[in-house]
Every structure is written in C-alpha cells, then in structure tokens.
Amino acid sequence: MQLKKCVISLLAVCVSTAAFAFAIPDDDDPVVINYIVNDVSNAAVKATYAGVESGTDDDGIAYTANVTVTFYEDDTWKTDTVASALGVIYMETDGSGTYTGDPSKDGTIVVKKLKTYSEGEVIQDYSSYASLISSSTITISDGKFKFESVEFTKQ
C-alpha cells in the first residue's frame, strides 16, 4: 500500500511539473511587471496626455517609455509609465498630485507632486510637508506641452 501511494505521489509530481513546463513563456515572450495604481482618483477624467521617451540608461541598455499623464475633474493627476527594455515590460504609476488651471485646453497649469510611487507603494508622501512639495508650471499650446525631455500630446 505504501508503494502504491508513493507511485501515485510521484506521478502527480511529474504531471504537475510537466504542466508547469508548458506554462513557462518562450524566450521571445516579454516579462510583464505591473505596478500601476488604479485608485488614485475616482473622479472623471478631464484630460489625458501621452508622450514617448527613448534612450539609453547608464548601463548602456536601450529603453522606450510611454508616459501618460491623466488629469481628473477633482483637480488631481497621476503619471503612468509603460517602459520596455531587454524583453521586460514595466508598468508603474510614478507620481500623483494636484493641479490648478484647465488641462483640457491651451493655457498654463501648475502641477504639484504630492506622492511618489515605487512598485505600487507610496514611497514619498509630501502632503504634510509644504516645503517639500515641488510644483511645475506647464504651458499647453496646440494640445501639447513639454515636461523635462518628453513632449506630451493631448489624447
């Protein structure tokens, strides 16, 4: 009886190992890491802008990053990035905060970054520290603005 149980257990291990082997992605399949935070705001979207940044990092690895800035009706915003390099797709919410002005049309808005995220967790919350809150003035013209080295276009 013990031998029968041992053989059945061994067979179960072989079957589950074979099933796992079929689930392993091919070398051509990208690895996806997802840290996008979906609960930053429950308000309706007022405007969305997208931009692309490509380059080479300090280690000489080429990358492409698609960045989306979403402005909500409750005067909050968040930035999501989908980056790819070496067959890895990395999706993350990078930051969030508040804004003044109207991002849905040409003009000037001021954005304040209140939170920085890493791996889906808040790593910096500046909300209680007014002196640490960084603000940037952005000018939207013809449905576009440039922030740091990325040009964003209204979607």
Q: Which two tokens stand for residue 137?
A: 């003035």
Instruction: Enumerate the β-bridge partners of residue 116.
Output: 95, 124
Res. 39: pLDDT tops 80:
no
Rounded to whole angstroms, how far apart are CA atoms 115 and 148? 18
Q: Which of 25-29, 74-78, 102-106 has the lowest mean pLDDT?
A: 25-29
Q: What is the pTM of this model?
A: 0.75
What's the DSSP call for residue 66?
E
**Residue 153, C-beta contacts closer than 8 angstroms, at least 6 positions apart:** 49, 50, 51, 143, 144
Average pLDDT, the chain: 82
Select from 145, 136, 148, 139 the least CA-distant residue to 112: 136
Q: Quick one: pLDDT at residue 14?
A: 37
Contact 122, 115 (CB under 8 A): yes
**Residue 97, C-beta contacts closer than 8 angstroms, at least 6 positions apart:** 76, 77, 111, 112, 113, 114, 115, 133
Contact 135, 112 (CB under 8 A): yes
| pLDDT tens digits for range 55-93 | 998 899 999 999 999 999 999 999 999 999 988 999 999
Select from 28, 26, 152, 34 the least CA-distant residue to 83: 34
Instruction: Enumerate the β-bridge partners of residue 76.
Output: 98
Q: Quick one: pLDDT at residue 50?
A: 98
Q: Quick one: pLDDT at residue 28?
A: 63
Q: What percent of the chain has pLDDT over 90?
A: 53
Domains and CATH numbers, the chain: 31-154 (2.40.128)
Q: Quick one: pLDDT at residue 27?
A: 56
